[in-house]
Amino acid sequence: MAEGHKITIEQADLHVRVVHGDQILAESDSPLILKETGSPTRYYLPAEDVRLELLTPSDTHTYCPFKGTASYWSLPDAPDLVWSYPEPKPEVAEIKDHLCFYEVEVS
């Protein structure tokens, strides 16, 4: 990690739900909480808790020097709404097979 840059990942005992319009896209009781210097807290949900059949893979890919290359999925009215790191860097290996959304409800 770069000097002063820190990422922590912890297993959360929270209920996380992702809703877009009137559709529930994901619901999980076992999210990972990822905290990264300079970024908002993110919730990574296990793939089995995400309704992947509602999402379309995107051509978008972004690179993070700390996490690796991200792949994205979209809805017809919400491009690149969700992402994951199929081959995350070893330091953040826990997020493999987890997906992250921009907006989540936490309870």
Question: What one-character-per-residue DSSP string does the chain give?
Answer: --TT--EEEEE----EEEEETTEEEEEESSPEEEEETTS--EEEEEGGGB-GGG-EEEEEEEEETTTEEEEEEEETTEEEEEEE-SS--GGGGGGTTEEEESS-EE-
Residue 15 lies in a domain: yes
The confidence score (pLDDT) of residue 1 equals 57
For the record, the structure tokens of 1 come out as 């990690």
Share of the chain above pLDDT 90, in %: 91
Residue 1 lies in a domain: no
Domain that holds residue 57: 7-106
Residue 84 lies in a domain: yes
Q: How does strand 68-75 pair with strand 56-64?
A: antiparallel
Residue 2 lies in a domain: no
Segments of the chain with pLDDT less than 50: none
Beta bridge partners of 34: 9, 42
The confidence score (pLDDT) of residue 107 equals 77
Q: Give me the amino acid identity at 58.
A: S
**pTM (whole model) above 0.85:** yes
The domain that contains 35 carries what CATH number? Answer: 2.170.150.40
Q: How many domains does the chain have?
A: 1
The confidence score (pLDDT) of residue 3 equals 73
Q: How far is CA 85 from CA 13, 19, 24, in A?
A: 22, 22, 22
* Closest among 90, 76, 77, 58 to 99, alpha carbons compared: 58
